[in-house]
Amino acid sequence: MSQTVLITIGRLPKALDFARSFKAAGWRVLVAEPFKSHLTGASKCVDRSFQVPPPSKGKEAYLVELLRLIEDEAIDLVLPLSEETMHVAHLAGRLPSRTRLYAPPVDHLLALHDKARFPSRAQAHGLPVPATALIETPEAQTIASRHDFVVKPIFSCSGRAVSLHPAGTSLIGIAATLTEPAVVQVQVKGKQYSTFAIAHAGKVLVNVIYQGAVMTGSVAVAFERVELPAIQGWVESFVRHENHSGFISFDFFVDEAGKAWAIECNPRVTSGVHFIETEDLAPAVLTPATTPIRFKQAKLMQQFYPTLTEVQAAMFRGPHYWERLKVLRTAKDVTWDARDPMPFITMPITAFSIIAMSIRQQQTFGQVSTQDISWFEGERLEAA
C-alpha cells in the first residue's frame, strides 16, 4: 500500500516539482491549498486537492483543518514548502503517531525567518552580515545616519513593504508609516544572489546559487544558476553551526572585493529548487543520508507567463527589452513537462485569482501570491 504525502501549498511551481517527485516515488499525493483553483492541482500527479481556510483568516482554524485532513486521509508525511511553513510547523506535537512533519522546530524556524534575529545568529558564527537593528533603537539611528539603508518588516517576504533610503534620512517619518515591527539594515552595494539548500543534521546535501535574469519587482521570474565559492562556504558554515535539517535559503550581496554578505534567511523552498533534478527531491526528504542529489543540465530557467509579461512591459518602458526577450526565448520553463502538460497549459486559468488580486492591489504577483499564507504577529497560537 502506497504512502500519502500532504503538500500544504499548491499555487506555486515549487509545489509542482515536489508533487511530481513524490508521485514518481510511488506516493499518493494530496494538496491543501486556500485557493480553489491552483497550478499544482492541474497535474496528473496530484490525486486530490483540498481547499482550506488561509492562515490569514485565523492561525488555529487553519491548523485544525489541516489536522482534520491528516486524520481523514491517513497522511504519512506533511510537507510545507513556502511561507505557510511558519504556520504548519506549529503542528508539531499535535500529529498522529504515524505522521511525520518535515519542518524544523518552531523556535528555530522563526528565529531564522526573523529579520532582526537572523543577523545576530550569523554574527555569532563569525559570518558576515550587514549591520541590522530594530527601527526604534539607537543602533538603527546610527545606521541611518552613516549609511544608505534598507527598511523591512521583520517577517517580510517577496519584497513586501521593503524600502531603500539614502544616508541621513530621518527614521521618524518612516517609522510613522509602519504597521508592524521592522529593521533598519545597511544597504550592501554589489551583485545580488539567492540560494536554496536541502540540509540534514548540519550537512548541506545540495545548495543552488542563482541570480535573477528577469525581475518582477524584487522577485526573480527568470533565473540563472551560478557557482560562487564565497557563498557556498557561507551557507555550509551556517548550516553546520546551526545543525540545521530541512530546507533553507538565503539572499546575498557580493561586494566588489568578492565578500559575500547574507542579508536575510528564508527557511523554506525558493526558486532555486527548479535547478534540482525533480526525481531527486522526494528521496532527499525521505532518505537524506543516502541520496545523491543532482543538478539539471539547464542553467537558465523561467516562469514563462510572468517573464512574458515583463518582456511585453519592456517594449514600452526601460532599456531591457532585447535582453529579456532573449531570456524568454532560451530559458527552460519551470513547469513544462510533456508527460504532464496541463499545469503549464492551464496556468492563466488556475492563477486567475492571483492575477486579479495583483491588478486590483497594484502589487507584484509574488507579493499577492503569499499575502494570505505569510507569518504575521498578533494572533498567538497555544501551540507556539
CB 7 within 8 A of CB 18: yes
What is the grid cell recorded at 154?
A: 521583520
Q: Does residue 160 belong to any structural domain of this protein?
A: yes
Residues 210, 174: one domain? no
Instruction: Report the distance separating Cα 237 and Cα 350, nearest Å.
Output: 40
Helices 106-113 and 117-124: crossing angle in degrees, nearest 10, is 100
Q: Does residue 124 belong to any structural domain of this protein?
A: no
Residues 219, 233: one domain? yes
CA contacts within 13 A on the Cβ side of 236: 9
CATH number of residue 353's parent domain: 3.40.50.720
What is the grid cell recorded at 221?
A: 521570474
Amino acid sitting at position 213: A
Residues 203, 279: one domain? yes
CA contacts within 13 A on the Cβ side of 195: 34
What is the grid cell recorded at 67?
A: 489536522
Instruction: Report the distance separating Cα 284 and Cα 276, nearest Å.
Output: 11
Residues 327, 343: one domain? no
Instruction: Report the distance separating Cα 37 and Cα 41, nearest Å.
Output: 7
pLDDT at residue 296, rounded to an integer? 98
Write out the DSSP string of 139-205.
Answer: HHHHHHHHS-EEEEETT--TTTT-EEE-TT--HHHHHHH-SS-EEEEE---SEEEEEEEEEETTEEE
pLDDT at residue 353, rounded to an integer? 83
Q: Does residue 68 belong to any structural domain of this protein?
A: yes
Residues above pLDDT 70, as percent of the chain: 98
Residues 247, 366: one domain? no
Q: Does residue 375 belong to any structural domain of this protein?
A: no
Q: How many domains does the chain have?
A: 3
pLDDT at residue 7, rounded to an integer? 99
Q: Does residue 146 belong to any structural domain of this protein?
A: yes
CATH number of residue 276's parent domain: 3.30.470.20
pLDDT at residue 147, rounded to an integer? 98
Residue-range definition of the domain harbouring residue 149: 131-186
Residues 89, 143: one domain? no
Residues 266, 241: one domain? yes
Q: Does residue 125 belong to any structural domain of this protein?
A: no
Residues 173, 218: one domain? no
Chosen domain end from 159, 186, 213: 186
Instruction: Report the distance separating Cα 136 and Cα 207, nearest Å.
Output: 36
Residues 197, 310: one domain? yes
CATH number of residue 158's parent domain: 3.30.1490
Q: Which helix (H) or strand (E) holds 241?
A: helix 229-242
Instruction: Report the distance separating Cα 33 and Cα 46, nearest Å.
Output: 12
Instruction: Report the distance separating Cα 201 and Cα 223, nearest Å.
Output: 29
Give the tens place of pLDDT for each residue, 250-284: 999 999 999 999 999 999 999 999 999 999 999 99
Q: Does residue 202 belong to any structural domain of this protein?
A: yes
What is the pTM assigned to this prediction?
0.94
Nearest to 271 by CA among 220, 228, 229: 220
Residues 257, 313: one domain? yes
Residues 218, 308: one domain? yes
Residues 312, 344: one domain? no
Q: Does residue 378 belong to any structural domain of this protein?
A: no
Instruction: Report the distance separating Cα 306 and Cα 315, nearest Å.
Output: 15
Chosen domain end from 158, 186, 214: 186
pLDDT at residue 270, rounded to an integer? 96
Chosen domain end from 170, 186, 202: 186
Q: Which residues of the chain have pLDDT under 70?
A: 1, 378-384
